[in-house]
Amino acid sequence: MSDILRQPAEVIYQAELDALKADDHGAKPENWQLSPQSVVTYLMGGTTASGVVISPKYIGQRRIIETAVATLATDRALLLLGVPGTAKSWVSEHLAAAICGVSTQVIQCTAGTDEQQIRYGWNYAQLLAKGPSREALVPTPLYRAMENGSLCRLEELTRMGSDVQDTLITVLSEKMLPVPELNDAIYARRGFNIIATANNRDKGVNELSSALKRRFNVVVLPLPDDMDQEIDIISRRVSEMSRDLQIPHPKNAAEEIKKVVTMFRELRSGSTLDGKVALKVPSGNLSTAEAIAVMVGGLSQAAWFHQGNLNAQAIGANLLGAIVKDPVQDKLVLEEYLETVLKKRADFSDYYHSINELL
């Protein structure tokens, strides 16, 4: 096993990508590694013509992924929108890996992102020695993606200032990036496009200008609609992660995942699964990604401190951290949930006691 903590998708799933490529006889947009059909198979899972099994990466509606892939084959860019933890970054990484073989051309947008991080910067030593020249120019991931006809990922697009966001308008509408210092421009090669992600829950985001919005096709990634689907997503990721972290995966993991998902879904929706008791909703968004984090935290605690017993003691503190984001309000919400719901359920009594001890 390599000692790199996390390899990019195109390295982890290289065998699957190679198998898809070998059997891919469909038409491809120029500079794509795979046909749009094979890209969808890579994301949704399936079997190749020669019988290689492709694991599902995204669990949800196939149509969503088809729309995303079809968008990237047009001149419009893709914006994946949704609450945190709905696999926006995950889908963006896998789309880039499947379509152009590199998922690492990423710009993380923040309030401090400036135009130089989007367009290009300068190597000042070169600039002083040689004056403005192509050699003195420091390309950004966006610049490189345009130059080699591949995908650039922009994470959390709406976190950077509107003026900086608007730098993308020329890039997206004219497919070129002016370099006024050199009286030149770079023209995007075929295959270039942008996959941006943004979440609609954050405070302090900068709305996209309508000029920019018009250049994106928006695809909304929803929270999983049924419980079995959510359990499936969590079980897959938890077993992959426990393998990566080299911690054992106890037999009762599935049972505990089901309990954690039950608590998450009830608190998230503000009512018990049977619809009989109305509940207050905590301020955090209790996403699937957070349920994965709770379970992985629980597995680690079980492995290192509870002789491998994955139980309410090992999971409880992780659960509390995920639910109580606001120490005053959310604590009251959780207390009420414990007293009105969990206390009455025999199979949740260990959770009732261990969370109560920590509150």
Least distance from C-beta 45 to ligand ADP, angstroms?
10
77 binds, among ligand ADP, Mg ion, none (CB under 5 to 8 A by kind): none
85 forms part of the interface with ligand ADP (CB under 6 A): yes
- Binding string, 179-218, against Mg ion, x = CB under 5 A? ----------------------------------------
**Size of the residue set binding ligand ADP (CB under 6 A):** 18
**Do residues 29 and 38 lie in contact, with contact meaning Cβ atoms separated by under 8 Å?**
no
Q: Out of 29, 45, 84, 178, name the contact with ligand ADP by CB under 6 A.
A: 84
Chain residues 228-247 in contact with ligand ADP, contact rule CB under 6 A: 233, 237
224 sits near ligand ADP (criterion: CB under 6 A): yes
- Residue of 29, 52, 31, 30 lying closest to 41 (CA atoms): 52
* Span between the terminal Cα atoms of the chain, in Å: 40
**Residue 87 binds ligand ADP (CB under 6 A):** yes
Q: Is there binding between residue 89 and Mg ion (CB under 5 A)?
A: yes
Among 20, 160, 289, 303, binds ligand ADP (CB under 6 A): 289
* Nearest Cα residue to 18 out of 44, 58, 54: 54
What are the residues facing 271 on neighbouring strands?
Answer: 278
DSSP 271: B
CB 158 within 8 A of CB 218: no
User: Given its phi and psi angles, is residue 286 left (phi above 0), alpha (psi -120 to 50 degrees) or beta?
Assistant: left
Q: How far apart are CA 164 and CA 223, in angstroms?
A: 30
For residue 201 the two structure tokens come to 């829950």
Among 33, 35, 86, 158, which residue sits at the site for ligand ADP (rule: CB under 6 A)?
Answer: 86
Q: For ligand ADP, which is the closer residue by CB, 84 or 321?
A: 84
Question: What residues numbered 38-77 form the site for ligand ADP, per CB under 6 A?
Answer: 58-60
Residues within window 171-200 making contact with ligand ADP, judged by CB under 6 A: 197
Interface with ligand ADP includes 292 (CB under 6 A)?
Answer: yes
Alpha helices in the chain (DSSP H): 9-12, 14-22, 36-44, 62-72, 88-100, 115-118, 124-130, 141-148, 162-165, 167-174, 210-213, 227-244, 253-269, 288-305, 312-323, 329-340, 349-358
Of 88, 94, 159, 265, the residue at the interface with ligand ADP (CB under 6 A) is 88
118 lies in the binding site for ligand ADP (CB under 6 A): no
Cα 60 → chain centroid? 14
Give the residues lining the site for Mg ion (CB under 5 A). Answer: 88-89
Give the residues lining the site for ligand ADP (CB under 6 A). Answer: 58-60, 82, 84-90, 197, 224, 233, 237, 288-289, 292
